[in-house]
Homo-oligomer: A and B are copies of this chain.
Amino acid sequence: MKQRPADDYVHVSSVNWQPFPGEFSGGGIRWKLLHVSPEVGTWAAIFDCPKGSSFASHIHIGPGEYFLTKGKMEVRGGQEKGGATASAVGYGYEACNARHDQTHFLEDSEFYMTFLGPLQFIDKEGNTLAVVGWEQAQALWAQQTGQS
């Protein structure tokens, strides 16, 4: 018989930040991976984003929810271009297949986010550069922190 998966707890403050790959971001974004759920493909992480940093263009393959605890974030071009400009404390729901060409941080910011499914990073023509889900996130985190 199958068992219920283990509950999990992470004291986030005790975990060290790791650099988020420059391939997927600019301006010194750091992250902590908090959880992966391999069966359904969800994962949770927290991101530290200095003023002026940004994420590369990506599509949310499934819905994602962020909780901005510090700073100011422009999503989908920001409020002026039909997207959202989030200010702490802010919550956002990004729908399945939401495309984020522009995610900028106007102040030093921090947000926690839960993802269903991967991020599909794309170039300007929409070609896929990388698909980053629970498995790739876990592999990167393990490599950065020496876990096995």
A contacts, CB < 8 Å to B: 1-13, 34-42, 44, 46, 61-63, 65, 67, 69, 75-76, 84, 86-98, 112, 114, 116-118, 120, 127-128, 131, 133-135, 138-139, 142, 147-148
Contacts and interface: CB of A to CB of B under 8 A. Distances in A.
Contacts of A9: 75, 84, 86, 90-93
Copies in the complex: 4
A5 B44 contact: no
B38 A40 contact: no
27 contacts: A1-B139, A4-B96, A7-B75, A7-B76, A7-B93, A9-B84, A9-B86, A10-B91, A11-B87, A11-B89, A11-B90, A12-B67, A12-B89, A34-B91, A37-B39, A39-B39, A39-B40, A39-B63, A39-B95, A39-B96, A40-B96, A41-B116, A42-B63, A61-B117, A67-B112, A69-B69, A128-B131
Contacts of A134: 96
A114 to B, nearest CB: 5
